[in-house]
Amino acid sequence: MGIKVLFLYPNTFGMNMVPPAIAFLSALLKGEGHQVELFDSTYYDLSYGVNSEGIKAEQLNVVPFDLASRGIRMKTSDWREDLCAQAKRFSPDLVAISSTEDMWELGVMLLDCLGDYLTQNSTPVIAGGVFPTFAPDLVLRHPKIDMVCVGEGENALVDLCERLATGKSYDSVTNLWVKMPNGSVKKNPISSPVDINENPTIDLSLFDEQRLYRPMAGRIYKMYPIETHRGCPFTCRFCNSPDQMKLYDKEAGGGFFRKKSMEVVYKELKYLKETLGCEYNYFWADTFLAMNNKEFDEFCEMYSDIKLPFWMQTRAETVTDDKLRRLAEVGLHRISFGIEHGDEEFRKRMLDRRWKNDLIIEALKIPHRYDIQFSLNNITGFPEETRELAMQTVELNRQIEADNANIYSFVPFHGTPLRKVCEDKGLIDSNAIVKALTDRPMLEMPQYPISEIAGLKKCFILYVKLPKDRWDRIRLAEEDSVKGNKIFEELKDEFMDKYFVPPRDNPNAEFPSTADLEYGLANPA
């Protein structure tokens, strides 16, 4: 006999697409005879994050897009009433919340809304995801959280549900930290990494139809996230992949970085295209081209039968002329490259990214040879960074003809090596929960104040595109003042006149708004 599991997914519009983890966990649980439902907050009008800033969702892209063209509408009902009504109707035996760190406080809002229901029905709550994995003590402080999944959830959740269904104790389930009746926490060991080739095809029936649509270069596509491998072989210090590897090396003897067989990937792609009407594939691997030559050949041969447009992210050092030529032939549409920082020595020392600028510049001449659009992602506000160092990021981006260039504030997420650096330097409290995109820069550093970081973010694309004889004027536009904003508007108009070119696959696109430039967010949205 199965149980009922209600997943909670805290999210705001424009942040995260369909969460693959919930989709394949749902498929696993249904395969074991359990019932699954989802409460996804994405399309509600929430006073949180981007919504609380009063920014329209459509402004989160450099290229505007029309949601109404695909019938996408925000919900008009109250999320609190809908969540409580769903819990009362479905009567779950387990509530499972999956959250990133920047969405955790929204997740707390959802749990608090269900507080009375959870208490009255003694419904256990489990939290999982990257943030609970690396901050389990913080997560367990919430009075309604009964357990945290540290690491992967496949084996743990299946075992937990089986024990709940049979009335057995779950305090020994691997990967779980469990609150005990005496107030202590039992920390169970982590099991070996799962065989991702054995996972079922993701279950997308949980999601509203409109949740499957996503903007890309000014158009809306029915798009799906595809897993080709889990983990990353690189060791960027602002990313959680190195700590994931260390966690599994220590607790489970290694093996966290795994690749899915192309045969399995092909079956998923065929199902998504032929059964669900997929229009565009989104490969969400940290470094898509972390493949050997044999695997790359297998992908190209396999995808030649799919031949839908697709997006990937990878590093410049994984790119060759031959690879991009072959990928373009089978459907590659856009690439996101993480440049991160323009100063070679700082990038090597602080970020553990070791490629030379001249090699990056040469490699990124390749995409446009094959009509592949690409964006550059950069970060500023790192510990020990200065404005002078940050301007080297501007200089490097000026030498690359990207379709988009973006810059973000550094966010010291739990589970990243640079989080520990920030804590050791006294730049952040160990208990602080951080957010991406929606907050101002949060590291107050005497050599690079928050006001300077915010000003450079605001004017980054102007520095990258306008001639250097405009830089003194751009510096004035960085100021958060009436005068500074007026100058910014003037320079924005100058930028539009000289440099805005509608995307090739959406020639009727309109000019971006001021918010587009201020936020400088990347395509895809």
What is the pLDDT confidence band of residue 60, given thresholds at 50, 70 and 90? very low
Q: What average pLDDT does the segment 126-145 reach? A: 96
Which stretch of 112-116, 142-146, 270-274, 438-442 has the lowest confidence by average pLDDT? 438-442
Identify the pLDDT of residue 82: 97
Q: What average pLDDT does the segment 193-220 reach? A: 89
For the cut 90, the answer to whether the pLDDT of residue 46 exceeds it is no
CA distance 237 to 32: 39
Q: What is the DSSP string of 375-402?
A: EEEEEE--TT--HHHHHHHHHHHHTS--
For the cut 90, the answer to whether the pLDDT of residue 72 exceeds it is no
What is the pLDDT confidence band of residue 214, given thresholds at 50, 70 and 90? confident
What is the pLDDT confidence band of residue 503, given thresholds at 50, 70 and 90? low
- Among 503, 245, 434, 190, CA closest to 512: 503
Q: Which residue has the higher pLDDT, 379 or 514?
A: 379
Which stretch of 208-222, 252-266, 502-516 has the lowest confidence by average pLDDT? 502-516
CA 59 to chain centre: 18
- 258-259 vs 332-340, strand pairing mode: unpaired
Identify the pLDDT of residue 220: 87
For the stretch 374-423, pLDDT in tens is: 999 999 999 999 999 999 999 999 999 999 999 999 999 999 999 999 99
What residues have CB less than 8 Å from 347, skipping those under 6 apart? 340, 341, 353, 354
Q: Which residue has the higher pLDDT, 463 or 213?
A: 463
Give the residue carrying structure tokens 């596509």. 221
CA distance 274 to 255: 33
CB-based contact 376:405 (threshold 8 Å):
yes
For the cut 60, the answer to whether the pLDDT of residue 509 exceeds it is no
Identify the pLDDT of residue 505: 57
Q: What average pLDDT does the segment 59-82 reach? A: 71
What is the pLDDT confidence band of residue 207, given thresholds at 50, 70 and 90? very high
Identify the pLDDT of residue 67: 67
For the cut 60, the answer to whether the pLDDT of residue 512 exceeds it is no
Identify the pLDDT of residue 152: 95
388 CB-contact burial (10 Å; exposed 0-12 / middle 13-18 / buried 19+)? exposed
Identify the pLDDT of residue 61: 32
What residues have CB less than 8 Å from 406, skipping those under 6 apart? 62, 375, 376, 377, 378, 460, 461, 520, 521, 522
For the cut 90, the answer to whether the pLDDT of residue 50 exceeds it is no
Identify the pLDDT of residue 486: 96
What is the pLDDT confidence band of residue 438, given thresholds at 50, 70 and 90? low
Mean pLDDT of the chain: 90
Is pTM beyond 0.85? Reply is: yes
For the cut 70, the answer to whether the pLDDT of residue 206 exceeds it is yes
For the stretch 280-325, pLDDT in tens is: 999 999 999 999 999 999 999 999 999 999 999 999 999 999 999 9
Backbone angles phi, psi at 423, to 5 degrees: -65, -45
CA distance 265 to 276: 16
What residues have CB less than 8 Å from 361, skipping those under 6 apart? 396, 399, 400
